[in-house]
Chains A and B, each alone.
Chain A
Amino acid sequence: MTNKEIQQLINRYLEGETSPEEERQLALELQGDNLPEEWQAIRLMLGELTIGEAEYDSIMEQRKEKQQKKPSAILVALRAITSIAAIYLVGLFFWLQQTPEIKTETAYNQSKPTAKTSYCTEGTPREVLMCYMERRKAQPHYYQQLKKMTYENK
């Protein structure tokens, strides 16, 4: 409250127009040591009990606000976690959608028979997987043998 507003409230107080609530508010404003003389007198007139009640109410109000802030802090944390999770999900979606970047090269490679001994190591994981599956389909016999060697120790 500005000094002007306080003075207006005091004037209304002297006219008997203020409510008990407004007088408590005034009591809160008139704290401190360096008040003008008239304000000190008004503070005295408001009385100890009004000042005490005003302080009690404002302390209780502050505590209530503090308590209300606590759950909202949890909410903020939850919101942060969910938004990070959402970002990851979107990222994952686009990663899975990735199409092979070097289409021309793969087309070139397909037209030329690749060396049978080379491994599928180039391209995105998806491309590697597709390459592997294609070769496996093309040479079922070879892969069957490979499977036997690795899994059945033959």
Chain B
Amino acid sequence: MTQSEFEHIAQELRSQMLKVALDFFASQDDAEDVAQDAMVQLWHYCERIDAGRNVSGLAIRVAKNCCVSLYRKRQTAKQQSYEDVSPRMLHQEDTSGSPQERLEAQDTQRMMDEVVALLKPRERQLFEMRQTEGLSTEEIAEQTGIPKTSVAVMLSTARKKVLTELKRRMKL
């Protein structure tokens, strides 16, 4: 999906994501922040997705994810102390965890990306349709034109390959 295609649907996606955030946070400001964050993340996901696909399901997932990460940040900030946390800190990018933990999280994410890149293109597509977009087997079958049973088999193959490779790398 190109940037102009994304911008074309961005307004509608944003309002969907804002609704998800408003359901979760009572405050309008928090919801706006989440929608903004989610918009940026969504664009990164959409870059990798074919044009013309319906991404509103993905948008909602990304928005939910952003809600939860802000929520987690608040919870840890609450636990740590009531005084040390300035409001500015909460809005900084990813303050959760120590620098060490963040680095590890980035490393595992990179490892995951590398492993998924080893899959055959078709397997990779199906794997990501489920992992990223959260589509059901029926929906994947409908959108790709592959029979349902074959989708399950290909998903299974892809998952087993990924697991074997991940385990091998984790042991190193």
A residues whose Cβ falls under 8 Å from a Cβ of B: 13-17, 19-20, 23, 37-38, 40-42, 44-53, 55-57, 59-60
Contact = CB atoms under 8 A, between A and B. Distances in A.
B55 to A, nearest CB: 12
A137 B133 CA distance: 96
B65 A20 contact: no
Contacts of B23: 60
Interface string B117-136: 00000000000001110111
Given A38-B167, A52-B66, A60-B23, 6 more contacts: A15-B156, A45-B166, A47-B131, A51-B65, A57-B64, A59-B71
Given A15-B156, A52-B61, A20 B68 contact: no
Contacts of A44: 108, 112, 166
Question: Can you list the 6 inter-chain pairs with the closest CB atoms, starting with the nearest?
Answer: A52-B65, A16-B156, A16-B155, A56-B64, A16-B152, A41-B166
27 contacts: A14-B156, A14-B159, A14-B163, A15-B152, A15-B156, A16-B137, A16-B152, A17-B156, A19-B136, A37-B170, A40-B170, A41-B163, A41-B170, A45-B112, A45-B163, A45-B166, A48-B109, A49-B65, A49-B134, A50-B131, A52-B65, A52-B66, A56-B24, A56-B67, A57-B64, A59-B24, A59-B71
A47 B159 contact: no
Interface of B: 23-24, 58, 61-62, 64-69, 71, 108-109, 112, 130-132, 134-137, 151-156, 159-160, 162-163, 166-167, 170-171
